[in-house]
Homo-oligomer: A and B are copies of this chain.
Amino acid sequence: MAVELKNDRLLRALLRQPVDVTPIWIMRQAGRYLPEYRETRKQAGDFLTLCTTPELACKVTLQPVDRFPLDAAILFSDILTIPNAMGLGLYFVEGEGPRFERPIRTQSDVAALGVPDPETELRYVIDTVRLVRQELQGRVPLIGFAGSPWTLATYMVEGGGSKDFARTKALMFDQPALAHKLLEILADAVSAYLNAQVDAGAQTLMIFDTWGGVLTPRDYKAFSLHYMQRIVACLTREHDGRRVPIILFTRNSGASLEAIADSSCDAIGVDWTTDIGDARRRVGHAVGLQGNMDPAMLYASPDRIRDEAAVVLASYGAGSGHVFNLGHGITPDVDPDHLAVLVDAVHELSRQYH
Query: Among B169, B254, B301, B331, which residue has its beta carbon within 8 angstroms of that of A255?
Result: B254
Docked Cα-Cα span, A297 to B164, in Å, equals: 11
> Known interface pairs A217-B274, A274-B217, A275-B255. Does A296 touch B333 (Cβ–Cβ under 8 Å)?
no
Docked Cα-Cα span, A272 to B278, in Å, equals: 21
Interchain CB contact under 8 A, B296 and A165? yes
* In the complex, chain B residues whose CB is within 8 Å of the CB of A219: 294
Question: Is A92 an interface residue when CB atoms closer than 8 A count as contact?
Answer: no
Docked Cα-Cα span, A6 to B123, in Å, equals: 69
> Known interface pairs A216-B275, A304-B174. Does A166 touch B255 (Cβ–Cβ under 8 Å)?
no
A272 to chain B, nearest CB (A): 5
Interchain CB contact under 8 A, B165 and A213? no
* In the complex, chain B residues whose CB is within 8 Å of the CB of A295: 164
> Known interface pairs A164-B331, A252-B273, A278-B255. Does A299 touch B218 (Cβ–Cβ under 8 Å)?
no
Question: Is A300 an interface residue when CB atoms closer than 8 A count as contact?
Answer: yes
* In the complex, chain B residues whose CB is within 8 Å of the CB of A333: 166
Q: Which of A164, A216, A333 has the most CB of B within 10 A?
A: A216
* In the complex, chain B residues whose CB is within 8 Å of the CB of A301: 173-174
A32 to chain B, nearest CB (A): 13
When C-beta atoms are compared, the residue in chain B nearest to A218 turns out to be B275
Docked Cα-Cα span, A218 to B294, in Å, equals: 11
Within 8 A of B (CB), among A284-331: 294-297, 299-301, 304, 308, 311, 331
A193 to chain B, nearest CB (A): 29
* In the complex, chain B residues whose CB is within 8 Å of the CB of A169: 294, 296-297, 299-300
Within 8 A of B (CB), among A69-105: none
Interchain CB contact under 8 A, A166 and B304? no
Q: Which of A255, A278, A331 has the most CB of B within 10 A?
A: A255
When C-beta atoms are compared, the residue in chain B nearest to A303 turns out to be B174
Interchain CB contact under 8 A, A217 and B173? no
Question: Is A170 an interface residue when CB atoms closer than 8 A count as contact?
Answer: yes
When C-beta atoms are compared, the residue in chain B nearest to A295 turns out to be B164
Docked Cα-Cα span, A219 to B304, in Å, equals: 14
A95 to chain B, nearest CB (A): 12
A35 to chain B, nearest CB (A): 19
> Known interface pairs A216-B273, A216-B275. Does A331 touch B296 (Cβ–Cβ under 8 Å)?
no
When C-beta atoms are compared, the residue in chain B nearest to A334 turns out to be B166
A328 to chain B, nearest CB (A): 9
Interchain CB contact under 8 A, B216 and A166? no
Interchain CB contact under 8 A, A217 and B273? yes
7 contacts between A and B (CB under 8 A): A169-B296, A174-B301, A216-B272, A217-B274, A218-B275, A218-B311, A255-B278
Q: Which residues of A contact B (CB under 8 A)?
A: 164-166, 169-170, 173-174, 213-219, 252, 254-255, 272-275, 278, 294-297, 299-301, 304, 308, 311, 331, 333
Beyond the given pairs A170-B299, A173-B299, A217-B275, 19 more chain A to chain B contacts, judged by CB atoms under 8 angstroms and listed by A's residue number, are: A164-B296, A164-B331, A166-B331, A166-B333, A169-B296, A169-B300, A170-B300, A173-B296, A173-B300, A174-B301, A215-B273, A216-B272, A216-B273, A217-B273, A217-B274, A217-B278, A218-B311, A219-B294, A254-B254
